[in-house]
Amino acid sequence: MAGQRTIIRDLNRTRDKIFAAALTEFSAKGFAGARVDAIARRARVNKRMLYYCFGTKQDLYREVLRRKISQRADLIDSTPDKFADALLHLYKLGGTDRDFTRLMEWEAIDNGRGKLIAETERRELFEKAVARLRRAQRDGFLPKQIDLTQLFISMLALVIFPMVMPQIVRLISDMEPGDPRFVRRRAAFLRWIGDRISGDPAATSSTADKVNRRHTEFAAGVSHSKTRIHPAKKLAGLR
């Protein structure tokens, strides 16, 4: 066997290697920019195997996207109920997943107007997320009468923007979005803004409702930072 390499055939292994390489290449270059030659090289398989396993470059791309979206569906299901915790959770899991973020961004910028990959599933996930916000609002943990679709869009914006626009983050903060220092500061800020958004109720609420919600919020907020004490003092002043 001197100098002769034995070829071991394992279609599943080949398929997995191509898939992993494709995730990396599509994330880096998008569909149009990724080269099947490069994917094959990265996977250390013959280019022909890509067509053998997945059919076309487009089919491979769909599969990569479908699986990544499906994998990341855990984000919504595992989101805590408390708003600031939810924001942090989304950031920690989704906001720092560079491949996922970039795939979403390539999808965004590729200008398709047709049906999205896993569109139905994603709609359902997002509806679930907005429904949870609605419950939190109804239970008094979020201000009344704010637009919850806009709130949810804004949550996603706050969470994934650093990875989506790294050059802007670099220009403003002199840090890479993946830098642990940046992540720490971002997390602290998201904690703050999460608490801030979910804090005081809307000013137009009736006093009785406000008192009740105050009490609920105070109880819920008892483990919070001392920024929560001030609203309680205001409540005492009103009574």
Return residues touching its own copies (CB under 8 A).
28, 30, 32-33, 102, 104-109, 111-112, 116, 119, 122-123, 126, 130, 143, 146-147, 149-154, 156-158, 161-162, 164-169, 171-173, 185-186, 188-189, 192-193, 196-197, 199-200, 202-204, 226-231, 233-234, 237-238
Give, as one character, the DSSP assignment of residue 199: S
Nearer to DNA, 37 or 209 (CB): 37
Q: How far is CA 228 from the centre of its chain?
A: 28
As measured in angstroms, the least distance from the Cβ of 106 to its own copies is 7
Q: Which does 49 bind (CB under 5 to 8 A by kind): DNA, its own copies, none?
A: DNA
Residues 18, 225: Cα–Cα separation, whole Å: 49
Q: Which of 28, 49, 130, 156 binds DNA (CB under 7 A)?
A: 49
At 200 the three-state DSSP class reads: coil
Work out the end-to-end distance of the chain between its first and last CA atoms, rounded to an integer number of angstroms. 90
Give long-range contacts, CB 8 A cutoff, 24+ apart: 228-234: 228/195, 228/199, 231/199, 231/200
- The token pair at 14 is 């080949």
Give, as one character, the DSSP assignment of residue 34: -
Instruction: Name the phi and psi angles at 9, rounded to 5.
Output: -90, 125
Q: Which of 2, 20, 41, 46 binds DNA (CB under 7 A)?
A: 46
At 72 the three-state DSSP class reads: helix
135 is a site residue for DNA (CB under 7 A): no
Q: Which of 1, 2, 3, 7 binds DNA (CB under 7 A)?
A: 7
Q: Which does 86 bind (CB under 5 to 8 A by kind): its own copies, DNA, none?
A: none
> What is the contact surface with DNA in residues (CB under 7 A)?
6-11, 13-14, 34-37, 45-49, 51-52, 56-58
